[in-house]
Structure 1
């Protein structure tokens, strides 16, 4: 008999380690499909809430924000690319890629949750940005991505042209910040156990099994 498991996946659309973490998590859930019935809810986190609509060159941005050298950025990208390839995800970002504001993408994700299509939209947003070099702040591209996963394009365009769900997203962002989430991905199980970072599949499998054991009152090794 499988047990229910609530998962809050706090992340940003432009965070490569969030892709690695999500694919690691979904692989783990596939392995555990006879043991758990998981419900994933994506929660918003903006790495660059003040980023303007034109975005910024990624190498320049990472140098300014983290003090990384272009060589360190390149090495980090290569590591992420390798981790993505292991999970079947193609990272094609390079030193000329741009980083963008993701607030509107989070508004669409909030709506997609109400429509039962949040996971497909999240995966499509990751692919559009990291594999296809898209701009997750462009309303035309966002509406197209929404349509591609079965969401109503005109409704998506109407949301993007308004402030709909803006307050809800801001409230969710503040809630997770107030709970101490300051880096992504942060994956919270059953409102009490957190796993941070782009962890490998086996780490998620181990963590979930431990959580399920504790939930049943079992002892944890």
Structure 2
């Protein structure tokens, strides 16, 4: 297998409730899909809780902001509206009526799904439905329903959610990300060779892929 045919692992440290992760991962996927060799790239989602001290009981975005920062919730609502406009301009649904809560159980389920080869599929489905306002991922029944819809065994999912499996895996992801220079999410690492923080434009992600994997055959032919 030549260099141009070798597989490339793209790791994304992310959190469910992070709107910039939502936008950024879609941009990354667009950058990969633009390549003629898109099937070379394997996206693996890694766990990072933005607010590990968040309560398990869901609350509004405004309440979460006031609890964490104090002051006027209009600040977070203004920021949310800006991100909403940006997301919608890129064809992404974005509800302002989302709930906020602790995401540790969602991350534990991500690791279980990853063992079945469905981690990215599950998390993408959850994130898309969550930001569209179509699912409450902090409700175990809804979480299990979405997991089953992407091919996971619902009973096994319920056992994971009822116990403490994969807790150390979630914490290990955070430690590993920090060792690579992560301070926030999204954080994209390509082939453990280059990394970029934040929700970058698709073109920037494309340049990152080119840097590691070389231009795709179509791009090379144009050059």
Q: TM-score, normalised by structure 1?
A: 0.86
Q: Is the 8 A contact 2:182 2:197 kept in 1?
A: no
Q: How is 1:11-50 mapped onto 2 (pairs within 5 angstroms)?
A: 11-34=14-37, 37-50=40-53
Matched, 1:180 2:189: no
CA distance in 2, matches of 1:105, 1:182: 21
CA distance in 2, matches of 1:137, 1:25: 26
2:86 aligned residue: 83
Unaligned runs of 5+ in 2: 216-223
Could you say if the C-alpha distance between residues 68 and 33 of structure 1 is closer, same or farther in structure 2, counting changes exceeding 3 Å? Answer: farther
1:118 aligned residue: 119
1:53 aligned residue: 56
Q: Is the 8 A contact 1:109 1:121 kept in 2?
A: yes
CA distance in 2, matches of 1:198, 1:151: 29
Q: How is 1:137-152 mapped onto 2 (pairs within 5 angstroms)?
A: 137-152=138-153
Q: Secondary structure at the match of 2:40?
A: strand
Could you say if the C-alpha distance between residues 192 and 166 of structure 1 is closer, same or farther in structure 2, counting changes exceeding 3 Å? Answer: same
Measure how far apart 1:192 and its partner are: 2.5
Q: Is the 8 A contact 1:2 1:35 kept in 2?
A: no
More divergent stretch after superposition (67-76 vs 183-192):
67-76
More divergent stretch after superposition (31-40 vs 12-21):
31-40
Matched, 1:194 2:170: no
CA distance in 1, matches of 2:41, 2:71: 37
Q: For residues 11-64 of structure 1, what are the alpha-carbon distances to aligned partners after superposition, in whole Å with 9 as ceiling and x for unaligned?
A: 001101001111000000000132771111111000111112213321232345
1:205 aligned residue: 206
Q: TM-score, normalised by structure 2?
A: 0.86
Could you say if the C-alpha distance between residues 66 and 189 of structure 1 is closer, same or farther in structure 2, counting changes exceeding 3 Å? Answer: farther
Could you say if the C-alpha distance between residues 65 and 133 of structure 1 is closer, same or farther in structure 2, counting changes exceeding 3 Å? Answer: farther
Q: For residues 74-122 of structure 1, what are the alpha-carbon distances to aligned partners after superposition, in whole Å with 9 as ceiling and x for unaligned?
A: 332222222322333201124xx43111111111111111111112201
Q: How is 1:60-139 mapped onto 2 (pairs within 5 angstroms)?
A: 60-65=63-68, 69-94=72-97, 97-132=98-133, 134-139=135-140
Q: For residues 96-150 of structure 1, what are the alpha-carbon distances to aligned partners after superposition, in whole Å with 9 as ceiling and x for unaligned?
A: x431111111111111111111122011111232112533222111111101111
CA distance in 2, matches of 1:17, 1:101: 18
Matched, 1:160 2:161: yes
Unaligned runs of 5+ in 1: 215-221
Number of residue-to-residue matches in the alignment: 212
